[in-house]
Structure 1
Amino acid sequence: MPLPYFQSSNKDFTLYQDDCLSALDNLQQPLNMVFADPPYFLSNDGLTVKNGKIQSVNKGQWDKFTTDDETYAFTYDWLAKTRDKMADNGTIWISGTHHNIFTLGRILPQLGFKILNVITWEKTNPPPNFSCRFFTHSTEFIIWARKHPKVPHYFNYKLMKQLNNDKQMKDVWRLPAIAKWEKSCGKHPTQKPLALLAQIILASTEKGDLILDPFTGSSTTGIAANVLERNFIGIDKESEFMKLSQDRYQDLQQEGRKQFFKEQFNRLLNKSM
């Protein structure tokens, strides 16, 4: 196994700087849960609005669109390798928009996954549509699937019901995009909010479980996992994102930080429905 870019002293937070296809070959432990936020391939020189300013949609070379066939092959390959490393009762969550969600929905059953839900994340603070020629994009989708059609998966139904005022939780979650307190060490261009990952982790894992993010970016998955006492492995090719992930982990170890994050999770998740 290659040496990690960074590993915590008790080995509950590990980062590998590598292509996810290569790194997945070397993983040994069975994964209880995977969260993946793969490239949406949206860097097409278009424009968007952020913080009231018109900006480029380009995220980096890793998000550049290639061809449909290459995108399909890449998606199939990383999902197949990820599935091989999952525990038999493990589940995977994959974030997307209409640009990639249909490809994911086609490939998952081909590989033997069973799709459990398609969560709609409704952002309470989406950027405006400055062209005024179509509706404002305010949602993303998260597919939740288990490894085998007939092997039961873990789901903390009781807690999810508790977070939803003692009612069954729906597949539409209303949560804000990232807040200032989540950017203390810097920001990734496609960073997900911690509360979103906290809800996913609480729903589908237990303390001590192993979680993988094969496109870890700033390791929001890992930060939420560490606060919630899960083990984490993150993979990314980009050195700047590796450093950002390590900085976020080390910041989290400062006195009072984990408690602050827990309080933020509780506040946001109890308002998410």
Structure 2
Amino acid sequence: MRIERIGNCTLYNGDAMEIMPNLPKADLAISDVPYSLTTGGASKSSKTMSGIFAAHNYANDGQLIMAVVPFPEMMAAIYGALKADADCYVMANDKNVHPITAAALDAGFQFHNLLVWDKVTPTPNRWYMKNLEFTLYLWKGRASTINNPSAKQLIRGGIDKVTDHPTEKPVYLMAEYVLNSSKRGETVLDPFMGSGTTGVACAATGRDFIGIELDPKYFDIACDRITRAYEQGDMFVERAPKEIQEQMAI
């Protein structure tokens, strides 16, 4: 296992399920967790899919994301990695909202809300274009009011990809969750950090961060992005929706 410490961020290159039980308890968990993806019925011969779903990248066999942990084990491990009172945000597509919710409730979480990200640019599909992704907003122990109670369920904004990670999320989206459910100096955990977006948001907002990534390639990318985030401060905020810019100015 490789460990890198960058500013107030501690990054682990290894298996999250092995690492999480040995970590200090976190104040908040935020993660775009891994799950198998399907093209939603677009045939390979229809030429309706492109990018990460193009035929040369993806065979519609559910194997675009290789490291898939069963949801019950995953949610139980995240629950155990949090302090007695803590929030948790877990991203999911439409097909996985229900199984992840069931696993979260079985693990001991309670359900606050279903949040929505309108990513503007839709994924081609034969049964309605997919322009939405979802975030389960959960809590453990005693519930706490979010820091900005006027925040809405829906966030709308595109993404300017900065890496080749197939499911990269925008920093402003993760910053919304970080800002609403933690304070400066508290610790945010992302056990499946991918290219490090949650860590970038934490570095820019004064939170401590623990990130875990199995793939050495994306681990190196995350290290580089978080290093640059400390160098650049909150420069990325200029591209964030206005309400998130206002929160980060507080």
Q: TM-score range by the shorter chain?
A: 0.7 to 0.9
* 1:85-123 per-position Cα deviation (integer Å, ceiling 9, x unaligned): 211221110000123211111111212211001101112
Q: Which one of the candidate residues 128, 153, 165 is aligned to 1:171?
A: 153
Are the structure 2 counterparts of residues 227 and 208 from structure 1 closer, same or farther at C-alpha, using a change threshold of 3 Å? same
- 1:141 counterpart residue number: 134
Distance 2:224 2:83 in 1: 30
Distance 1:193 1:46 in 2: 29
% identity of equivalent residues: 25
- 1:19 counterpart residue number: 15
- 2:190 counterpart residue number: 213
Are the structure 2 counterparts of residues 65 and 241 from structure 1 closer, same or farther at C-alpha, using a change threshold of 3 Å? closer
| Match runs of 1:218-257 below 5 Å | 218-254=195-231, 257=232
2:1 matches 1:7? no
- 1:152 counterpart residue number: 143
Q: Which amino acid aligns with 2:177?
A: I
Q: Which amino acid aligns with 2:5?
A: Q
Q: Which runs of 5+ in 1 are unaligned?
A: 162-168
| Match runs of 1:108-147 below 5 Å | 108-129=104-125, 133-147=126-140
Distance 2:227 2:2 in 1: 19
Are the structure 2 counterparts of residues 126 and 212 from structure 1 closer, same or farther at C-alpha, using a change threshold of 3 Å? same
Q: CA deviation at 1:206?
A: 0.7
Q: Which amino acid aligns with 1:173?
A: I
Distance 2:80 2:112 in 1: 19
Q: CA deviation at 1:268?
A: 7.2
* 1:213-236 per-position Cα deviation (integer Å, ceiling 9, x unaligned): 111100100000100000001111
Distance 1:196 1:267 in 2: 12
2:193 matches 1:192? no
When the two structures are superposed, what TM-score results if normalisation uses the length of structure 1? 0.77
Q: Which runs of 5+ in 2 are unaligned?
A: none
Size of the alignment, in residue pairs?
238
* 1:230-271 per-position Cα deviation (integer Å, ceiling 9, x unaligned): 0001111100011100111222233xx224123333647369
Contact preservation (8 Å) 2:13, 2:216: yes
* 1:11-32 per-position Cα deviation (integer Å, ceiling 9, x unaligned): x1111111111011211x2211
Superposed CA RMSD in Å reads 2.8
Q: Which one of the candidate residues 18, 31, 35 is aligned to 2:30?
A: 35
> For 2:108, what is the secondary structure of its paired residue?
coil
Are the structure 2 counterparts of residues 144 and 259 from structure 1 closer, same or farther at C-alpha, using a change threshold of 3 Å? closer
2:247 matches 1:265? no
Distance 2:59 2:191 in 1: 21
* 1:137-177 per-position Cα deviation (integer Å, ceiling 9, x unaligned): 010110010012xx13251135xx2xxxxxxx33122121x
- 2:65 counterpart residue number: 63
Are the structure 2 counterparts of residues 56 and 62 from structure 1 closer, same or farther at C-alpha, using a change threshold of 3 Å? closer
